[in-house]
Structures are given as structure tokens and as C-alpha cells.
Amino acid sequence: MQDKEITIYDLAEKLNISAATVSRGLKDHPAINKKTKKKIMDLAAELGYRSNKFASNLRKQKTHTIGVIVPRLNSLFMSSVISGIEKAVNTAGYNLIISQSFEKEAKEKTNATTMFNSRVDGLIVSLAADTRDFSHFDTFIKKNIPLIFFDRVAEDIQCTKVLIDNFKAGYQATAHLIEQGCKEILHVTGNITRNVYRDRFKGYKKALADAGIPYDPDLFITNELTEQEMQTAMADVLQRDKLPDGLFITNDSSAAFILTILKDAGVKVPEDMAVVGFNNDLISRVTEPAISTINYPGNEMGENIARILINHLDGEADLSFTSTVILNSELIIRASSQRKK
Amino acid sequence: MQDKEITIYDLAEKLNISAATVSRGLKDHPAINKKTKKKIMDLAAELGYRSNKFASNLRKQKTHTIGVIVPRLNSLFMSSVISGIEKAVNTAGYNLIISQSFEKEAKEKTNATTMFNSRVDGLIVSLAADTRDFSHFDTFIKKNIPLIFFDRVAEDIQCTKVLIDNFKAGYQATAHLIEQGCKEILHVTGNITRNVYRDRFKGYKKALADAGIPYDPDLFITNELTEQEMQTAMADVLQRDKLPDGLFITNDSSAAFILTILKDAGVKVPEDMAVVGFNNDLISRVTEPAISTINYPGNEMGENIARILINHLDGEADLSFTSTVILNSELIIRASSQRKK
DNA sequence: GTGAAAGCGCTAACAT
DNA sequence: ATGTTAGCGCTTTCAC
């Protein structure tokens, strides 16, 4: 440390007032004289005073920190959610700690522990692909630390959830493929114990049913969504006698990757197979053909999440804390699925 | 708060020892009897004790928190760097606060202030595209808070920098295009006040010079790398009488986007124009044709950065703190630039 | 409108 | 090997 850190005592001494008054003045306490306040503020600015959060948190037993655990940060969707959260949180004077589970339950658990030990005032989570056990959230619930899930939610935990209507999105994507003349629609998705995948799958099945197309289990592939597994799964599909004529794939990166596999196999998109992805990541726009996809309001979702949490923390909206917020999503039609003019 | 929070005093009382002993036992102090340690540990686990970081930080005047400011998190490169940093930092018992500047100097400044007020023990930065003024880092330097830049570095600030040899990478990319028969190579890049872009540009010019090709300013485009600007810039290029026959583009997303523009304009890649990108993001592999690119070791970079910082903080390596670490990069040749078998 | 004083939970110098 | 003690900087109750 170069310059010594300035404390409220230093300010108090120089102004010949008490530390208590300085403390109050700094946070605009109503009982303090305007002039005194101004003197305090000015001196603080001049001396480069910064409040010591540790002392303050220690005293107040509140950290003004919010934790976020997400599977990964490398999608447009996630970064817009985070950006939305950050915006709302910053303006409310809270800090953010972000960590990634890399789709692993084990990492999610240690992340949750770290968050707990950092005494976050609230926790925002989108679950890892392989999380089956939710006991790492028990400590939060027990201590009444508010918990919000978004996108990939834990359905058995009673708390606020913010997500899109995955059933509807799955339905729309599938209905669109049917409308384009597809009859054998392959659905490639993640593990359906996770709500997002299960609901999309339900929407897919309902759209088939509504169109009088029987559901064929051979046209349903679920895996960990890695390139490796996509490769294997598609190799298998492409060896079948009867190829599917439509693909509904649960995320754009996988859809883009599968497009390269189809290309290598000489399958024409959309003529032989029409393709719909999910997320509206940049990647869906640069492939040849561009991929039809479901667009989700990441930023809006982030801001919503943060606002709900902060209102709760600031004690303004205790009541509606265990609600579910559904945001709109939309189908964006591009060349990969467009067969009719 | 539900259950009251357990403190070392609670543990001390139940075990009939002093709080100091508990404190020492908890951190495995060598002078404490093994049996006592075990008793302490066991009781702590049983009662769900968690150390109060605020008290500890307040006392130790150290936060064990490291701040990271990056332009954006949505590239494979950035997420691997972060992942590398997180890994190294976690194992060393430090926490991480991550924030994004979204390529804006203003946001970078407020982020830096937040980090400063959160009293991070060290700060890791990759600069926003439009940062010209570096005064927001002065406070860190003045207070001797270690600062590390990576990738997009501030050259005038004396501190550790971790990056790749952008000159070499730019040279390789350009030389490769020349080797493929390109004579009119357009270089599209960011503002060359930023080291990464300037050095790539220098490499580009050197490769041209070495091949006896004169540098043509019309074949050099610098902008903010947004889709909008790419669109405008390429529209201009495509109207020229003499089109370039090679493109060296400073990042894969832009390269992928430009590929779509070329496609719309009926330009064949690589026949009419050979294309090389930068970063080896997933996106470079899914376009048609796949994009040749420069691969950078994101994870390795992250781990390096974190280790250097932590060694410094833990007082193990004070000396070499103002060094520059150059990591290897490599050219990956794909279809977008391959004209000769 | 302002001050005095206690205490948040932990650590470390010093003592034993 | 363990205990005593003081203090990190802030907030807040209770005085006046």
C-alpha cells in the first residue's frame, strides 16, 4: 500500500466532527445538516476516500453481492442475459460474481459453495446439463437466501423462475417444418430431464400429433450436445434406409455443426432435409444456408431476473417471490427450412 | 436469517478452547495439535460453520479477490481464457469478479472503479476496442495493485503483459495467402492504435514486402468490426474495378459475416477470393467453406496470467512482474484459403 | 443535528 | 501448543 487508505475517522478528524456523522453524511442520512453533508462529501472526494465494504458488510451482515452460476458464457444468449443482469444490478448498487459450471454438476456444486461462503445476498442460476441432484441449493433455501432460476430451471425447488415457453417454441419449430412439407422430422436435443429440452420435446410431439403424424422414437435423439456425440449420432442417422426430411435441433451451434456433417454426406439443405435450430446465435446466420431458429430475449430476461431479485432484497416485493415469469420467443425463418417460395 | 450464523467463538466455547486456537486450527496452522485440529474441524463441519470473509478481509486488509475486465465474453477465445484463469485462481483460493466493457471505454472505466472499490487484490484486463485514455488504471498503479494485461494490452503502462505474437500471426496469414497465389490482399481489421491490430497489420505489410508486393492503402480497411461497418466497407470494396483476390480478416466472426456478403455478391471463395480469419472460434468451422484461421491458446493464456498474478500476490515472484509473456499461435489452413491441392 | 460507545468476526503479535 | 488482547472500519442505538 502506497498512500494510506482514508477512513471515516480521518475525515472526522479533519472536519472536527464525529465518525458517526461522517458515516451518516456519506449515505445521505436525512438528519444531517446539508452543509455538513457537503463538507463531508467534498473532503471525501478530495482525499480519495473509499468506503470499506468489508467493515460495512461485517457490520450490516449484508454483502450487496449477487452470485450468478451459468453453464457457459460463450453464447450470444448467455452474454446478453448476463449483460442484462449486470445493467440492472449495477444501477441498484449491487455487485456481481459470475461463475461457470461448464455443464458439470460437480463444478456447479463447488461454485454454489463458493457463492455461499462469499455470502451472496441472492443467487441466480441456470443449471448445468447434467445436474440431477439439487442439494447444493438447500443451504441457500435454509438460510432464506433468495434463489432465482432462469432458462434451465429446477422445477422441484420453490422459487422464482424466468424462462421462455419452450413447449410453444418446440411446437412452432416443428409446425413450421411440417408446413414446409416435412414428414419425418428428427429432433436432436439434450437430456430431457432438463425442463428446456423436455418442454421443447413435448411441443415437438404435440405439433406432430396435431398434424396427424405419429411419433417415431427413432426420430428422437438425446445426448450431451457435444460435437463428438453429434458426429456419432448423425453418422448413425445417415446410414438409415429412410432418411429424415426435417431436423429440429435444440441449439444453433449443434445445428451449424450438423450442417457441416450433412454437407459432407451430400445431403442438401433444405431440399433433402430442412433444418431449424434454437437461440438465434450469430452462428445461425453465417452458415450456408442460414439456419432458421428460435429467438429469445436474453437481455430482457437478464434485466427481469435482476429486478425481481433486487426488489425482493430491498424489501419492496416480498410477496410474489415464488412466481414463474414467461417471456416471449419467436421463430425466425431462414433459408435452412424454407422450401416453399 | 434462519439459523444463527456460527462463529469461531461458538466453536471455541463448545470445545472449551480459545477463539485464537480455533482460528489457527481452521487454517491448519502448524503449531496446533493434530487432535485439537481434528476436534475443531469436526465440530465446524457438524455445525455448518463458514468463515466470515468480511471479518477476515477487514482484519487482513486483503480481499483474496481478483478482478477481470474483458471486452466481451462471447467468443471461444475469451471463454477459454476465463476458464483458464478461473481454474488457476480457484485452486489458489482466490475469488474472481468478472465484468465486460462491451468494447466501450466508458464502461471499462466504471468497471475499473467498481473493481477498485471492491478492493481487488489484482486486476486482469483486456482492453476495449475504443479505449484511448488509460487514466482509470492510475489508481491501481498508485496503490500498487498488480495489473496484468492480456491480448489487448496497454503498451505505455509498465506491467506484465501476456499475448501472442500478432506480428508473426499476421505475417503467417498473409504469407499463406501469397503462397496460394493471391496478389491483391485486402486486410480488414480494428483500430490500429490497439496493439493486436497494429501488429497484425505490420506482419501483413512485412509479408507483402518480403514477397515483393507493394503495399496498397486501398487494400487496408480499419473499422469498429461491427456487422454494420463490415457491410458498408465490403459494399464499397465490391464496387471496385479491380477486386482483391485475398482477404485477411482480423477475427472469425467478421470473416464469417463477410463470407455471407461475398456469397450474396456471387464471389467464389477461395477461387475468386481466398479468406483467412483469426481466433479459431467454432464459427470458422461451420461456414461454407470453412475458414482458415489463427489458433491461439486461450486456456493456456488464462492459466499463465493467473499464475503470474498469484505468485506475485503470494510474494513468491516479485521480481519478474513487469515482463511480457508471448505464447505461441498457429495458422490453421481450411478450405476458404486453399487453392492449391 | 450530532456524538459516544459498543460490537460485527476474525487475526496476529505477544505472552505463557 | 494455546491463550490474551487489541483492532481492522463501519453502523447504529441511545443519549443529549
Q: What gap in Å lies between CA B74 and CA A167, rounded to an integer?
A: 27
Q: Are residues B84 and B228 in the same domain?
A: no
Is 70 exceeded by the pLDDT of residue B316? no
Strands A324-327, B147-150: parallel, antiparallel or unpaired by DSSP?
unpaired
Is 50 exceeded by the pLDDT of residue A319? no
* pLDDT tens per residue, range A145-197: 899 999 999 988 888 999 999 999 999 999 999 999 999 999 999 999 999 99
Query: H helices of chain B, where?
Result: 8-15, 19-26, 34-47, 53-60, 76-91, 105-117, 138-142, 166-179, 195-210, 227-238, 252-264, 283-286, 298-313
Grid coordinates representing B265?
Answer: 455478391
Q: Are residues B25 and B39 in the same domain?
A: yes
Q: Are residues A174 and A242 in the same domain?
A: yes
Q: Are residues A175 and A111 in the same domain?
A: no
Q: Are residues A75 and A184 in the same domain?
A: no
Q: Are residues A141 and A94 in the same domain?
A: yes
- Which residues are CB-neighbours of A107 under 8 A, at least 6 positions away? A100, A101, A128
Cβ-contact A250, A192 below 8 angstroms: no
Average of per-residue pLDDT values in chain A: 90
pLDDT at A317: 59
* pLDDT tens per residue, range B109-138: 988 988 887 889 999 999 998 899 999 999
Domain interval for residue B22: 8-47
Asked if residue B180 belongs to a domain, the reply is: yes
Residues with CB under 7 A from strand D: A 5, 7-9, 19-20, 23-24, 26-27, 49, 51-52, 55-56, 58-60; B 16-21, 24, 30-33, 36, 55, 58-59, 61
CATH number assigned to the domain comprising residue A203:
3.40.50.2300
Q: Are residues A68 and A137 in the same domain?
A: yes
B144 in contact with chain A, both atoms CB, cutoff 8 A: yes
- Asked if A143's CB is within 8 angstroms of B260's CB, the reply is no
Cβ-contact A118, A65 below 8 angstroms: yes
Asked if residue A19 belongs to a domain, the reply is: yes
Asked if residue B36 belongs to a domain, the reply is: yes
Mean pLDDT within A92-108: 88
How many angstroms separate the most distant Cα atoms in chain B? Answer: 90
Q: Is the dihedral of CA B31, B36, B40, B46 positive or negative?
A: positive
Asked if residue A274 belongs to a domain, the reply is: yes
Identify the band that residue A320 occupies on the pLDDT scale cut at 50, 70 and 90: low
Q: Are residues A313 and A266 in the same domain?
A: no
Percent of chain B with pLDDT over 90: 60
Pick from B74, B249, B288 the residue to mutate for testing the A interface (most A CBs within 10 Å): B74
Q: Are residues B178 and B282 in the same domain?
A: yes
Q: What gap in Å lies between CA B89 and CA B76, rounded to an integer?
A: 20
Q: What gap in Å lies between CA A163 and CA A41, rounded to an integer?
A: 43
Asked if residue B1 belongs to a domain, the reply is: no
Q: How many domains does chain B have?
A: 3
Percent of chain B with pLDDT over 70: 96
Q: What gap in Å lies between CA B90 and CA A193, rounded to an integer?
A: 30
Q: Are residues A210 and A241 in the same domain?
A: yes
* pLDDT tens per residue, range B39-54: 888 888 888 888 888 8
Residue of B nearest to A93 (CA): B114
pLDDT at A2: 44
pLDDT at A321: 65
Asked if residue A339 belongs to a domain, the reply is: no
Closest CA to B110 of B128, B122, B96: B128
Q: Which residue type sits at B41?
A: M
Mean pLDDT within A26-34: 86
pLDDT at B259: 95
Ramachandran category for residue A337: left, alpha or beta (phi over 0 → left; psi -120 to 50 → alpha): alpha
**DSSP conformation letters of B166-186:** HHHHHHHHHHHHHHTT-SSEE
- The residue whose grid cell reads 479505449 is B131
Å separating the CA of residue B52 from the C1' of nucleotide D16: 36
Is 50 exceeded by the pLDDT of residue A240? yes
Average of per-residue pLDDT values in chain B: 90
Q: Are residues A179 and A293 in the same domain?
A: yes
* pLDDT tens per residue, range A125-140: 999 988 999 999 988 8
pLDDT at A290: 94
Identify the band that residue A280 occupies on the pLDDT scale cut at 50, 70 and 90: very high
Asked if residue B336 belongs to a domain, the reply is: no
Is 60 exceeded by the pLDDT of residue A304? yes
**DSSP conformation letters of A239-307:** TSSS--SEEEESSHHHHHHHHHHHHHTT--TTTT-EEE-SB--THHHHSSSPPBEEE--HHHHHHHHHH
Q: Are residues A292 and A228 in the same domain?
A: yes
pLDDT at B1: 36
A91 contacts in chain B (CB < 8 Å): none
Asked if residue B340 belongs to a domain, the reply is: no
To 5 degrees, how large is the angle CA A288–CA A292–CA A293? 130
